[in-house]
Amino acid sequence: MSEIQLATLHWYALDPIDVLLFRESKPFSPGEGSWAKGLFPPMPTTIFQALRSALLYTPNTPKKERHLRFLGPFLLDQENTLWLPTPKDLLAMGHYDPNADPAQIDDTPEELAEGDKYQRLQPVQEDHWKHIQWDDQNLPPLVPPPLEEGEYIKGRPQPWIRASALSAYLEGQLPQSSDFQGDPWDTQVLPHIDIQPDTRQVKDEAGYFTEVAIRLRPGWRLAAAISTRIPSTTVRLGGEGHRALVAPLENWDPGIDWDRFRERTGSVAYLLTPGLAQAEEAAPIYQAYPSQWQPHLAGCATDRALLWGGISAIRRRQQDSEQSEKADFALLPQRAFIPAGTVYHFKQDPPPPLRQLLGNPCAQFQTFESLNYGTLLWGK
C-alpha cells in the first residue's frame, strides 16, 4: 500500500524537443538483426529517471528525502486534457442498413473504432455460449452482450480515453465516441550507416541498422507525477541524447479522483499502469492475472504482454570519487508486464482488494511499489 496519496503528487508535462527513441527489450545486434523497434509510451522507470535527473544531487542529502513516489506516464493534449489507456473490455457497436450492399462496405480502422454506442464484455451467463469449451482450471472468457436487432460489433474503440470518461466508466457509465482518441504520434525510421575509411562502402559487420523513432504530433505531450517539486527545465529523454522540456502543471485537475477509485467500489478492476502477475508462487513466470485470483475471477480482458528487460550497461560511481567506473555488461531480468487498460471482472466473492499488481516476491518489489507499477482502480 502506498504511503502517499496519488492526489498529492506534483504533475509535470514533458514536451519533446525532437523525436523520441525507446527501444524494446528484444536483443539488438547491428550485424544480423538490423531493425531496432521501440516501445511507446515508455515504461514508468524511463520517465521517472528523466525527472529525477533534474534534481540536484548532493552527497549529504538525507536518504529518506530520496525516496520518491511516481505515477505515469500518460498523454496530455493541447488543452491539458489527460488521456489514459482505454479499458480493454469495451466494444464499439454499430447498426447496419439491411438495404446496403455488403460489397460496398469498406470501413477504415478509424471508422471501425468509432461506434454508434459502446458496450462492455461480460462474464459468461447465457446458454448460447454453452458450446464454447474451456478447461475448468482455466479462466472463462468474457463475451459480448446480447445484440439488438440490426446491431453488430465494429471492433475495439480507440486506444486512449479521457480521464473524466474513465472516471464515469468506473462508475458504471458507458462512454461516447468523443471520449476516445487514437495514438497521437507517428513513427519515423532512422537508418544508420557506418562507412569504411577512405571508401564509399558500408562496413561488413555492424555497418548498417535502423531505429524506429516516435514523433508526437503538435500540441501533444507526456504527463507524469512525482513526489517532489522540479523547476521548469530540460531533461534527457530516451536514447540518442534527445531532450524534452519539463514544466509543472499548476492548479491542474486531471479529471479523475485517483485515491477514491483505489478503494474497492465494485467487482471490476482496471489496470492503470503496467503490472506483474506470477503464474505460480515464487516462480519467475508471468501471466495476465495472479494465480491466487483464479478461483475468484469471472473473466479478464487484456492484450499481449509487454516484454521488458534484456542487456544493460551499468556505470557504478567509485567510492569517495566523482568519477564513474567503466560500463559493465549486465543482464536485466526479462519480465512479461500486463499492459495498462487490462480489466478484471470478479465473482461475488472476490479476494481482498489490492492497490497494485507487483509480482511479489521479486527483487525490484520496492521500486515497483514506489513507481506505482500495476496500479489498480476499482469500479462497477
Q: Which of 109-118, 145-154, 340-349 has the lowest mean pLDDT?
A: 109-118
pLDDT in tens, 328-341: 666 667 788 999 99
What average pLDDT does the segment 335-364 reach?
Answer: 85
pLDDT at 115 over 80: no
What tens digit of pLDDT does each residue of 277-314 get? 988 877 778 889 988 888 889 889 999 999 887 666 66
* Per-residue burial over 257-293, b = 16 or more CB atoms within 10 Å of its CB, e = otherwise: ebeebbebbebbbbbbbbbbbbeeeeeeebbbbbeeb
pLDDT confidence of residue 291: 86
pTM for this one? 0.87
Q: Indicate the residue type of 286.
A: Y
User: Quick one: pLDDT at residue 1?
Assistant: 39
Q: Is 320 left (phi over 0), alpha (psi -120 to 50) or beta?
A: left
The secondary structure element, H or E, covering residue 247 is: strand 243-248
Domain ranges of the chain: 85-181, 263-380
Average pLDDT of the segment spanning 193-202: 61
Band (pLDDT 50/70/90 cuts) for residue 165 is very high
CA distances from 54 to 8, 10, 368 (A): 20, 14, 21
- Lowest-confidence region among 63-77, 257-271, 334-348: 63-77
What the block records as the C-alpha cell of 23 is 527501444
354: phi then psi, degrees, rounded to nearest 5: -110, 155
The three three-digit cell numbers of residue 76, written as one number: 496530455
Q: Is 198 helix (H, G, I), strand (E, B) or coil?
A: coil
